[in-house]
Chain A
Amino acid sequence: MNTLAAWSAAEVRDRLASPHGLRLQTGPFSFAIRSPVREVADGLALHYRHHPVGEDPQASGFSDFHLAIGRPWGLRRFWRPQVEFRLDGQRPFEPLPGHQGYALLEWGLNWTISSHAHRFVILHAAVLARGDRALLMPAPSGSGKSTLCAALSLRGWRLLSDELALLDPVDGRLHGLARPVSLKNASIEAIRRFEPGAPIGPSVADTAKGRVAYLSPPADAVAQVRHPVRAAWVVLPRYQPGAPTEHRMLSRAEGFMELQRQTFNYDLHGLVAFKALGDAVAGCRVEALRYRDLDEAVAVCETLARPAGSA
Chain B
Amino acid sequence: MRRSLLAQVLADPSRLVRLGPHEWDLLLRQARWSDLLPRLAELAPPQSTGPSVVPAAVRPHLEAARALQRAQREDVERELVLLDEVLRPIGAPVLLLKGAAYLLDHAPAALGRTLTDVDILVPREALSAVESALLLAGWHTSHPDPHDQRYYRRWMHELPPMVHGRRGTVLDVHHAILPLTSRLQSDTQALLDASNALPSRPLFRVPCREDQVLHGLTHLLVNEDLRHGLRDLSDADRMLRHLLDQDPQATRLLERARTLGLTAPLRQGWALAHELLDTPLPAPVRHALRARASAANPMGGAIEAVCHHAWRQALDTHHPSVAGAHCAAARALLFVRAHTLRLPLHLLVPHLSVKAWRRLVQPPS
Contacts and interface: CB of A to CB of B under 8 A. Distances in A.
Interface in B275-334: 319-320
A90 B34 CA distance: 12
A72 B43 CA distance: 37
For chain A, the bracket of interface size reads: 20 to 34
Interface string B73-92: 01000000000000000000
Interface stretch (A62-70, A227-235, A246-254): A62-70
Given A118-B68, A270-B71, A64 B61 contact: yes
Interface of A is mostly: loop
B140 interface: no
Interface in A187-213: none
A131 to B, nearest CB: 27
Interface in A106-138: 116-119
A119 B64 contact: yes
B22 A60 contact: yes
A89 B33 contact: yes
A226 interface: no
Contact of B320 (A63, A88, A118, A272): A88
Interface in A50-106: 60-64, 66, 88-90, 94
B160 to A, nearest CB: 25
Given A94-B364, A117-B60, A119-B63, A60 B33 contact: no
Contacts of A60: 22, 25
A267 B78 CA distance: 13
B261 interface: no
Interface residues of B, number: 21
B130 to A, nearest CB: 27
A224 interface: no
B33 A88 contact: yes
Given A62-B22, A64-B57, A117 B33 contact: no
A269 interface: yes
A61 B22 contact: yes
B157 to A, nearest CB: 30
Contacts of B71: 267-270
Contacts of B29: 66, 88
Contacts of A272: 67
A89 B64 contact: no
A62 B25 CA distance: 5
B21 A62 contact: yes
B190 interface: no
B25 A118 contact: no
B32 interface: yes
Nearest to B72: A268
A79 to B, nearest CB: 17
A270 B68 CA distance: 11
B55 interface: yes
Contacts of A118: 63-64, 67-68
B60 A119 contact: yes
A256 to B, nearest CB: 21
Contact of B68 (A89, A90, A94, A268): A268
Query: Most chain-B CB neighbours within 10 Å: which of A62, A66, A94, A268?
Result: A62
A63 B29 CA distance: 10
Contacts of B68: 118, 268
A30 interface: yes
B60 A63 contact: no
B32 A88 contact: yes
Contacts of B74: 270
Nearest to B30: A88
A64 B24 CA distance: 10
A193 B337 CA distance: 65
Contacts of A90: 33
Contacts of A64: 57, 60-61
10 contacts: A60-B22, A61-B22, A62-B22, A62-B24, A62-B58, A64-B61, A88-B33, A88-B320, A94-B364, A116-B61
Interface of A: 28, 30, 60-64, 66, 88-90, 94, 116-119, 267-270, 272
Interface of B: 21-22, 24-25, 29, 32-33, 55, 57-58, 60-61, 63-64, 67-68, 71, 74, 319-320, 364
Query: Which 7 pairs, one residue from A and one from B, show the smallest C-beta to C-beta distance?
Result: A118-B64, A62-B21, A119-B60, A89-B320, A268-B71, A62-B25, A118-B67
